Chains A and B, each alone.
Chain A
Amino acid sequence: MVPDFLIQFKEFISQPWPWWVAGPMIALIMFILLFFGKEFGISANLRVMCAADGAGRFADFFNFDWQSQGWNLMVALGAMFGGYIASHYFLGGSDVAHVSAATVESLKELGFNYGQGEVPLVPEFYSWESLFTLRGLIIIVGGGFLVGFGARYAGGCTSGHAISGLSALQLPSLIAVVGFFIGGLVMTHLVFPILF
């Protein structure tokens, strides 16, 4: 027999998590890493992986002590496990993004005809098949390239600048986050109407 409170706990965590749980949890993750003497920044792994593949022969940027960054690769590996656990064991039976009614409406302009409560967590163009369409190729390969290039140029991504940097009241991180939003708004409002 499984005790009642365990069943209740499972039901509780199976719901989508509200922002006020996720935000403080992310801050806690940052704190745990600081406590271990590390800095929260996921995109740094891309530089480590390039260096580990021998990119140092082509650019000095990749000649650094990447072996000391193995801990960050373990965080990335853990994130993969976390994605597996969340999607397989306590998704709560629904694979839905609980977006607002306004978003459901504006998605229709892009050709996504979902009803309220039917918007999937991930779009269907996250597939190998769509990689062979022009749009899918632009999104996956183009998006990946921009994220990888931009994160290193700006010296960090959402975790490194928006969370770690702003928490430490770093002005450069604020400039980077303003840049993230300029880029995101241009893409969403100016490029998407052409792309979709």
Chain B
Amino acid sequence: MKISKYIFVGILLGVTLYKAEAVSWFRIYEMFHFQSFHMYGIIFSAIIAGVGIVQAIKRTHMKSTEGREIVFHPKDRSIPRYLIGGIIFGLGWALAGVCPGPMFILMGSGYTVFIVFLAAAMAGTFAYGLLRSRLPH
């Protein structure tokens, strides 16, 4: 497996989110107070460009470098799973000011305490794995 290209993609992601201040707890706080367009601008412009990209891929039946046509798997239809899971995620996102991408980015920026955050996030994922069959999906 050629891994260097994925490291490059990650670097692009890390530099972008850091330079756009999307890794900032204060920016997330500002977003949830609707006091600036900045974070919404990032998300909306990404989605608008993304919709165009996905439509172009579908219309041209673009193939990936692996030689297969790029397909989009529809996600399972459900409400409780996405809503409850989403709310729990949102609570953590606003509390710590980071989602999983910035977690890695800040670790690399020298905030080594995010090793603890990562361990806690793994514990959360593990707890979900244990409780999965008993949760509404």
Interface residues, chain A, with chain B CB atoms under 8 Å away: 13, 16-37, 42-43, 45-47, 49-50, 53, 55, 58-59, 61-62, 70-72, 74-87, 90, 97-100, 102-103, 106-107, 119-123, 126-128, 130-131, 138-155, 157-159, 161-173, 175-189, 191
Chain B contact residues: over half helix, strand or loop, or mixed? helix
B7 touching A77, Cβ below 8 Å? yes
Contact among B25, B32, B90, B127 with A145 in the assembled complex (CB-CB below 8 Å) = B127
Distance in angstroms between the alpha carbons of A24 and B32 in the assembled complex: 22
Q: Which 3 pairs from chain A and chain B are nearest by CB?
A: A82-B14, A78-B10, A179-B86
Within 8 A of A (CB), among B102-137: 103-114, 116-130, 132, 135
A189 touching B46, Cβ below 8 Å? no
Distance in angstroms between the alpha carbons of A25 and B22 in the assembled complex: 13
Task: Name the residue on B nearest A123 (C-beta).
Answer: B25
B10 touching A140, Cβ below 8 Å? no
Distance to closest chain A CB from B136 (angstroms): 10
A34 touching B95, Cβ below 8 Å? no
Distance to closest chain A CB from B28 (angstroms): 8
Contact among B7, B50, B83 with A175 in the assembled complex (CB-CB below 8 Å) = B83
Distance to closest chain A CB from B66 (angstroms): 4
Task: Name the residue on A nearest B57 (C-beta).
Answer: A34
Instruction: Give the residue among B13, B51, B120, B130 with the most A Cβ atoms within 10 A.
Output: B13
Distance to closest chain B CB from A14 (angstroms): 9
Given A47-B129, A147-B93, 13 additional A-B pairs, CB 8 A: A22-B20, A22-B45, A28-B12, A35-B64, A78-B8, A80-B104, A83-B18, A147-B92, A147-B98, A147-B124, A148-B124, A172-B75, A184-B28
B110 touching A87, Cβ below 8 Å? yes
- Which chain A residues border B116 with CB–CB below 8 Å? 131, 140-141, 144
Task: Name the residue on B nearest A70 (C-beta).
Answer: B1
Contact among A55, A149, A175 with B82 in the assembled complex (CB-CB below 8 Å) = A175
Instruction: Give the residue among A153, A165, A184 with the most B Cβ atoms within 10 A.
Output: A153
Instruction: Give the residue among A17, A46, A146 with the most B Cβ atoms within 10 A.
Output: A146
- Which chain B residues border A23 with CB–CB below 8 Å? 41-49
B29 touching A87, Cβ below 8 Å? no
